[in-house]
């Protein structure tokens, strides 16, 4: 099932995996939209790969949702991974002590 939503939060199926594309700025303004998508992905219980190559900014509100999704997936034996994370966001995650949360 391919699910397309509007930018900057877009999810799609890729075989057994689910790809979650984050683009541009994902902040508190987009967090509700991200939460909607995350809840759907959580219900599916498949591994989620968050594609971050076009992500320019991710704030705490967005991170919380991803952490919540990660916990949900782990409870179902699946996992969430962040991929192609830009260096600036990696640095933020390091300072925030969240590099190893995934």
Partner 1 sequence: MQIDLKRFQETFFEEAAEHLSTMESGLLHLEESASDPEFLNTIFRSAHSIKGAAGSFGFTEIARLTHVLENVLDKLRSNLLAPSADLTQLLLRASDRLREVVDATRRGEPGAVPIDDILPELEAVLHGTQPAEAAIVATAVLAGAPHGELVYDVVFEPEREFFRQGQDLFLLLREIGELGEIVSSSCQRGALPALDDIDPELCYLSWRIKVRTARAAHEIRDIFMFVEGACRLEVNAESIVTAPGAPVTPTIEAAGRIERRASPDRRMESTSIRVSTEKVDGLINLVGELVISQAMVNQAVSTLAMTPALEEALMVVQRSTRELQEQVMAIRMLPIGTVFNRFPRLVHDLTVKLGKRARLEIEGAETELDKSVIEQLGDPLTHLIRNSIDHGVEDPEQRAAAGKPEEGVITLRAYHEGGTVVIEVGDDGKGLDRERIRQKAVSQGLVREDQVLSDDEINSMIFAAGFSTASVVSDVSGRGVGMDVVKRNVESLNGAISVQSTPGKGSRIRIRLPLTLAILDGLSVQLGRDIFIVPLLSIRQSVRPEKDDVKTVLGGRGEVFVLRGEQLPLVRLSRLFGVGGAVEDPQQGIVVVTENDGHRFGVLVDDVLGQLQVVVKSIEKNYRKIESVMGATILGDGRVAFIIDVAELHRIATRRRVPDEDVRTSEAAASAAAQEEVA
Tokens of 25: 């700025």
Pick the closer one to partner 1 by CB: 15 or 74. Answer: 74
**Min separation Cβ 6 and partner 1, Å:** 10
Size of residue set near partner 1 by CB under 8 A = 34
Pick the closer one to partner 1 by CB: 76 or 84. Answer: 76
Asked if 27 interacts with partner 1 (CB under 8 A), we say yes
Asked if 87 interacts with partner 1 (CB under 8 A), we say no
Q: What is the 3-state secondary structure (H, E, C) of the chain?
A: CCCCCCCCEEEEEECCEEEEEEEEEECHHHHHHHHHHHHHHHHHCCCEEEEEEEEEEECHHHHHHHHHHHHHHHHCCCCEEEECCCHHHHHHHHHCCCCCCC
Asked if 39 interacts with partner 1 (CB under 8 A), we say yes
Which positions lie near partner 1, rule CB under 8 A? 25, 27-35, 38-39, 42, 57-61, 63-65, 67-69, 71-72, 91-92, 94-98, 101
């Amino acid at each position: 099932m391919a699910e397309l939503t509007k930018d900057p939060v877009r999810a799609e199926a890729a075989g057994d995996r689910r790809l979650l594309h984050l683009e541009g700025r994902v902040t508190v303004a987009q967090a509700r939209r991200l939460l909607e998508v995350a809840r759907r992905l959580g219900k599916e219980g498949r591994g989620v790969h968050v594609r971050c190559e076009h992500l320019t900014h991710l704030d705490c509100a967005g991170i919380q949702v991803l952490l919540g999704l990660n916990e949900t997936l782990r409870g179902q034996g699946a996992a969430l991974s962040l991929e192609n994370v830009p260096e600036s966001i990696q640095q933020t995650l390091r300072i925030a002590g969240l590099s190893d949360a995934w």
